Chains A and B, each alone.
Chain A
Amino acid sequence: MTTLTLGRTSVPAKYLPVLVTGCLFVAMFLVGGIRYEGFATGQIILNVFIDNGFLLVVAVGMTFVILTGGIDLSVGSVVALSTMISASLMAGPGWPPYLVVPLVLLIGSGLGLVMGYIIHAFDIQPFIVTLAGMFLARGLCYTIGTDSIPIEDPTFTAFAQTRIDLFADMWISPSVVIALVVVGVAAYVLHYTRFGRAVYATGGSEQSALLMGLPVARTKVTVYTISGFCSALGGVLLSFYMLSGYGLHAVGMELDAIAAVVIGGTLLTGGTGFLLGTVLGVLVLGLIQTIISFEGTLSSWWTKIFIGLLLFVFILLQRLFSARTRR
């Protein structure tokens, strides 16, 4: 992606929000480096990826949905459901991971497909359909079990605990690789395929997209399917991270994902935004957590306060930005 061409003095207006988020990330990293001993290392950034790989994947799916002007509130619950199904199938009947993981991905995509179809076929607000999906998926977790189910499958745990060593003592987990592959594929799809451009067009003006002969219906259903798939994959990654399945995993993650997308400069009205922004949004959220934990004395709830303040700033920026471009 060649979105950050800092060499030139004039940056095209459409890259501005991404640039702002990028600068924010750099600034936070510098401030952290100055304030805390041992902060300014590459591993800190890698840790942010390791701790937020699942969120990144979920946020990628959310980016597709928000780019069309929709919203998907069900992602957190689908993540929880995925951890629950994975854990219970591996613990109970003892299914192997290579059967369980595809099945979970299929279920997630299926849920997304159904929600997308309802949104399209009955012309219902995505907010309410995915809200229903959110309750449904969360409820289904408890039909499987009310307690946390540990994952003890040897292949699964071995994979989860693998460290991929990079240069200079730095390392990442396989989840990070998966998440980055998802980001890469998604960025390619959005930028280089007809489907990706139809996503932007639908978000820009659904009516126009329809009259230009774009497959708006298929696009809308597909983005919710993608979001469902990403949520399920996020659930699998969360299972790697937690090594358990639990109905109370990922409570409120849909909001984190939305926050990451918005902080990344994607307009909630649809049609404008970049996947790189979403990556930066997730990194900013993760870095806030890291800084709070380095601070030591602050309660982790301060994370929420900072995210809240950041969101306010970014939606105000968005408003100013869109008001200016509309003139």
Chain B
Amino acid sequence: MAVPAPVLTMSGIGKQFPGVKALDGVDLRLLPGEVHALMGENGAGKSTLIKVLTGVYPADAGTIELGGATVAFGSPLEAQQAGISTVYQEVNLCTNLSVAENIFIGREPRRFGRIDWKRMRARANELLSRLELSLDVSAPLSTYSLAIQQMVAIARAIDVDARVLILDEPTSSLDADEVEQLFRVMRRLKEEGIAILFVSHFLDQIYEISDRMTILRNGRLVGEYLTKELPQVELVAKMIGQELAALERLHGEAKVFARPLIEARELGRAGAIEPFSLTIHEGEVVGLAGLLGSGRTEIARLLFGADHAGTGEIAVSGSQTSLRTPRAAMTHKIAFCSENRKADGLVPDLTVRENIILALQATRGWTRPVPREQQDELVGKYIKALRISPPNPEHLVRNLSGGNQQKVLLARWLILEPRLLILDEPTRGIDVGAKTEIQRLVAELSDGGMAVLFISAELEEVLRLSHKVEVLRDRRLVAELPNDDSLTTDVLMETIASGGRTS
């Protein structure tokens, strides 16, 4: 089989950050008309490699060749002009501008020096129809969903004569249909001869779309493989660098628990969630399943006192209380690890130690600082238990990868020794290795008597961990299913779809 000449070759790339060797001798080549997956755990160096390629960071070592000529980009703009376009995980567009502007800004069609709005809209429509989209291109981007915004970002990326398109976790916030649409677009671009570099944590997606993959681990190259020649299990093993023992399949099971910890009766909040009743026992893992916007987070926020319940009552360990503020919930030893770790949780400019100690300090009040020795001991313990990497308590959280940031957030709540831990999408956007670790941890914690309310968009994960699953639909709790052998993702999916009417 003749392999066409690569469009882009990176060889021997090295990149050093203060205290961390982010990349060391990494090679990558992209062939025209191929989707190339870049695989690796969080912190393996994927993002750094992409940033070196697009000129965000200069490389310390190694060369980049584009179409046979050596290049070194000083900025993403230069890379773009050379035909390397990037669509990032967080959509980097200006939502205050119109769809058409977002596609063309910086290179608007002009006539006599003035922007030709009419032609811009026409060309935007043309370009979007190439992606099988029909939008009102003069409407502000903020009126469209995140998925559509992502497509607009891709439209922007391919309008310049892109030779290389980098998609950095484009699917993490898309639903199944939207992913399918994205893949259709990717296949079409592939036919046009564009080389696509694709980063995703969803292995199924990788196997569906990619032709070839490069695996990184700890900033080093593991190898380049043809996707169809590398079974999933081996891929995972190569990514985490261990044998598969670590991936032993956990499975939740239906158990009968004796001691109720939290009992919510007809708890509800107008506009957020209809009144529901829910009992969480000590040592029980309760999974919440439902689509995005079905009321999963709303339940968690009510139980944590972040929102006020309009109706109903709540009892903790049998005694009636009102959880009016998160502080009140914390005194009952309820902890909430939120979905959005960047916005509501971590302080990026503080160190790992400071971030972990924050909640503990808050419960003690500012007049009684936690002694440094105790801090070091506690932090050291959790860094080890959660395998936070790098295992340096004085490292700034900002410089940690997503999965490790999540672990820091988790450590912050675990240090309080909560009786109920609410985890809202703890594994979103993190890799397989960290995912399994967090799952393993949840299982261990519940064995130790902690109750866990586990929210995840991945049904499989919910099934793997939970003792019982609460199914939500349209802001209503529609079913409670014990996790016995008969419960499968299909059953769950059906329950979500039917709204629990059959059960």
With an 8 A cutoff between CB atoms, is A214 at the interface?
A: yes
A166-218, CB < 8 A from B = 188, 191-194, 197-198, 200-201, 203-205, 207-214
| Neighbouring A residues of B95 by C-beta, 8 Å | 204-205
B54-109, CB < 8 A from A = 75-77, 80-81, 86, 88, 92-97, 101, 105-106, 108
Q: A14-B140, A198-B105 are in contact. Are A212 and B156 (CB under 8 A)?
A: yes
Q: Is B92's CB under 8 angstroms from A201's CB?
A: no
Q: When the two chains form the complex, which single residue of B76, B101, B108 contacts A211, counting CB atoms closer than 8 Å?
A: B76
Q: Is B97's CB under 8 angstroms from A212's CB?
A: no
Q: Is A194's CB under 8 angstroms from B140's CB?
A: no
The minimal Cβ–Cβ distance linking B32 to chain A, given in whole angstroms, is 23
With an 8 A cutoff between CB atoms, is A10 at the interface?
A: no
Please report the C-alpha to C-alpha distance between residue A282 and residue B118 in the assembled complex, in whole angstroms: 32
Q: Which of B92, B105, B142 has the most chain A CB atoms closer than 10 A to its own CB? A: B105
Q: Is B94's CB under 8 angstroms from A272's CB?
A: no
With an 8 A cutoff between CB atoms, is B371 at the interface?
A: no
Q: Is A198's CB under 8 angstroms from B142's CB?
A: no
Tally of A interface residues using CB under 8 Å: 25
Q: Is B114's CB under 8 angstroms from A193's CB?
A: yes
With an 8 A cutoff between CB atoms, is B18 at the interface?
A: no
Q: A14-B140, A212-B156 are in contact. Are A200 and B96 (CB under 8 A)?
A: yes
Q: Is B94's CB under 8 angstroms from A204's CB?
A: yes
Please report the C-alpha to C-alpha distance between residue A197 and residue B106 in the assembled complex, in whole angstroms: 8
Q: Which of B75, B94, B105 has the most chain A CB atoms closer than 10 A to its own CB? A: B94
Please report the C-alpha to C-alpha distance between residue A207 and residue B76 in the assembled complex, in whole angstroms: 12
A293-327, CB < 8 A from B = 325-326
Please report the C-alpha to C-alpha distance between residue A210 and residue B76 in the assembled complex, in whole angstroms: 8
With an 8 A cutoff between CB atoms, is A264 at the interface?
A: no
With an 8 A cutoff between CB atoms, is B5 at the interface?
A: no
Q: Is A213's CB under 8 angstroms from B80's CB?
A: yes
With an 8 A cutoff between CB atoms, is B385 at the interface?
A: no
Q: Is A326's CB under 8 angstroms from B142's CB?
A: yes
The minimal Cβ–Cβ distance linking B110 to chain A, given in whole angstroms, is 8
With an 8 A cutoff between CB atoms, is A271 at the interface?
A: yes
A137-183, CB < 8 A from B = none
With an 8 A cutoff between CB atoms, is B113 at the interface?
A: yes
Per-residue contact bits, chain A 262-274, to B (CB 8 Å; 1 contact, 0 not): 0000000001100
The minimal Cβ–Cβ distance linking B124 to chain A, given in whole angstroms, is 14
| Neighbouring B residues of A210 by C-beta, 8 Å | 76
Q: A192-B114, A194-B108, A213-B106 are in contact. Are A208 and B76 (CB under 8 A)?
A: no
With an 8 A cutoff between CB atoms, is B115 at the interface?
A: yes
Please report the C-alpha to C-alpha distance between residue A20 and residue B496 in the assembled complex, in whole angstroms: 45
Q: Is A197's CB under 8 angstroms from B108's CB?
A: yes
| Neighbouring A residues of B108 by C-beta, 8 Å | 194, 197
Closest to B113 in A: A193
Closest to B56 in A: A211
Q: Is A212's CB under 8 angstroms from B115's CB?
A: no
Please report the C-alpha to C-alpha distance between residue A14 and residue B98 in the assembled complex, in whole angstroms: 11
Q: Is B92's CB under 8 angstroms from A204's CB?
A: no
Q: When the two chains form the complex, which single residue of B80, B96, B110 contacts A271, counting CB atoms closer than 8 Å?
A: B96
Q: Is A197's CB under 8 angstroms from B101's CB?
A: yes
Q: Is B106's CB under 8 angstroms from A194's CB?
A: yes
| Neighbouring B residues of A214 by C-beta, 8 Å | 105-106
Q: When the two chains form the complex, which single residue of A204, A207, A325, A326 contacts B97, counting CB atoms closer than 8 Å?
A: A204
User: What are 28 A-to-B residue pairs whose CB atoms are below 8 Å?
Assistant: A191-B115, A192-B115, A193-B113, A193-B114, A193-B115, A194-B105, A194-B110, A194-B115, A197-B97, A197-B101, A201-B97, A201-B101, A201-B105, A203-B96, A204-B95, A205-B92, A205-B95, A208-B94, A211-B76, A211-B86, A211-B92, A212-B93, A212-B105, A212-B106, A212-B156, A213-B77, A214-B106, A271-B96
Beyond the given pairs A188-B114, A204-B95, A205-B95, 16 more chain A to chain B contacts, judged by CB atoms under 8 angstroms and listed by A's residue number, are A193-B115, A197-B97, A197-B101, A197-B115, A198-B105, A201-B94, A201-B97, A205-B96, A208-B94, A211-B76, A211-B92, A212-B93, A212-B105, A214-B106, A271-B96, A326-B142
Give B residues with C-beta under 8 Å from A: 75-77, 80-81, 86, 88, 92-97, 101, 105-106, 108, 110, 113-115, 140, 142, 156
